[in-house]
Every structure is written in structure tokens, then in C-alpha cells.
Amino acid sequence: MNSEIIEIVLRSIYVSGTATFLSAMWSIPLGLTIGIKNFYGKRLVKGVFNAFLGMPTVVLGLVLFLLIRHAGPFGFLNLLFTPLAIIIGQALLITPIMISFTTSAVESIDLDIRDLAKTLGATEIQASLAVLKEAAGGTLLAFIASFNRAIAEMGIAYMVGGSIPGFTMVLTTAIALQRDMANIELGLTLAAILLSIVFAINLILNLIQKRRP
């Protein structure tokens, strides 16, 4: 039983951690762009991402399930009921969070830095990197909040992961399953672990927010 718990905890961190990094690959550049650039419809774009902050996980899970099942348009990828399916689903789920956090982090710093960097001969990308460096605290916040949302979600893990023991079962789906199997003690142990992870992350989040200038 013990190695089973460790396995589930590690899998959860692995799946949600990978999802966070995967999402960062597109979310941070996008958030940065939206934060720095002024363009027509910027408020609309930000509004859309804000609206998707509250995306119900089961809805996303259901849509993904329909897309990747064998009869679906992406069935040939053989993704259904694999950890990778959960990773992709969670990465999509947290995209709006990451973009919103990054955008507001960038907007909260003085954009003169960018102009300054540019007058000193920096290219567009170098100037953006200078801004990102200033917004490091806020970007970290985006990471942590996203990871938190990913590891605590259940709808996607259940719908596209299938909660297969030893393969795609993560903390949230394991807890639900223990109720169905009438293993209340094991369920409580897993719940305590998940809570500890979420609380620890929130603590870090609060510390960072407090220390932000």
C-alpha cells in the first residue's frame, strides 16, 4: 500500500509539473506580448482569458475526451487514457491562469525599462527579456498558481486519464476511487497529502506576494 501511495503522489507531481512547464512554453510568451504590446482589442483578449480562468475541468475533460477517443478526430494519436493526455489537458486548463498572471505582472512594472533597453541598443526580444526579468516574481507566481490548479483538478484526469491504477491514477481521482471502494482511511491519507501539497504551495504564493515590491 505504501509504495502505491508514493507512486500516486509522484505521478501527480510529475503530471501536473510537466503540464505547467508545457503550458509555460506558450503562455509566458503570450502573456508577455499581451502585457507589453498595445494593440486593438487588447481588453477583449484579456477579458476572454479572464473568462476562461473559471473553466470547469469536467467540461474541458469531456471536450478532450471526445477529441482523442478512437472515433474522434485525434484518435489516431492513441492518447486516450495515458498520462500524456492528462498533461496536455492540464496544460490547456492552466493557460489562461498563466497568461493572466504574466500579463498583470508585466503591466505592474514600469515599461520604461523596455524603452530604456531599446535606447541602449537592445533588440525587441532582448528588451522583452529585460521586462521578464523585472517581472520574475510575478512569473513565478503564475507558475505556482498554475501548478496548484493542475494538481488539484479532477475532471480532466478522470475523463481523459481514466484513473487506471498503476498508470494514470493521480491524487484526486485516487481519493474519489477510495470512497467507491469503501477504503476511507486510505482516502483520508491521500486527501491529507494533497492538502499538504496545496497548502505548502499557497504558503509560498503568499510569501512571494508579500515580498513583491
Partner 1 sequence: MKNWTWLTTITLITIILVAGAYYLEVFPTTKKEKLTVSTTTSLYDTGLLNVIEDTFEAKYPIDLQIISRGTGLAIKLAQDGDADMMLVHAPSKELPFLTQGYGVCRKIIAYNFFAIVGPETDPAEIQGLTTLEALTKIVEAGRKRQAMWISRGDESGTHAKEKELWRAANFTWEELRSETNWYVEARKGMGGTLILASERSAYTLTDMGTYLSHSTADLIALKVFISQEKELLNVYSAIAVNQTRHPHTNFNGAINFIKFLVSDEGQQLIGDYGKNEYGQPLFYPAVKLLQESNDPLANLIREYALFNGTECPAEYRYGHSELYD
Q: For residue 121, how many other CB atoms are within 10 A of its CB?
A: 7
Binder to partner 1 among 90, 146, 163, 172 (CB under 8 A)? Answer: 163
Binder to partner 1 among 48, 51, 116, 184 (CB under 8 A)? Answer: 184
User: Using CB under 8 A, which of the segments 7-15, 96-104, 106-114, 118-126 binds partner 1?
Assistant: 7-15
Nearest distance from C-beta of residue 162 to partner 1, angstroms = 5
Binder to partner 1 among 48, 51, 136, 203 (CB under 8 A)? Answer: 136
Instruction: Specify whether the backbone of 120 is left (phi greater than 0), alpha (psi in -120 to 50) or beta.
Output: alpha
Nearest distance from C-beta of residue 37 to partner 1, angstroms = 25
Query: How far is residue 83 from each of residues 27, 78, 128, 177, 192, measured CA to CA in Å?
Result: 21, 12, 34, 18, 23
- 71 is an interface residue for partner 1 by CB under 8 A: yes
Q: How far apart are CA 119 and CA 127, in angstroms?
A: 10
Could you please report the per-residue DSSP string of 28-50?
HHHHHHHHH---TTHHHHHHHHH
Q: How far apart are CA 213 and CA 211, in angstroms?
A: 6
Closer of 51 and 181 to partner 1 (Cβ):
181
Binder to partner 1 among 42, 59, 165, 196 (CB under 8 A)? Answer: 165
Residues that bind partner 1 (CB under 8 A): 7, 10-11, 13-14, 17-18, 20-21, 69-71, 78, 80-81, 136-137, 140, 143-144, 147, 162-167, 177, 179-184, 204, 208, 211-213
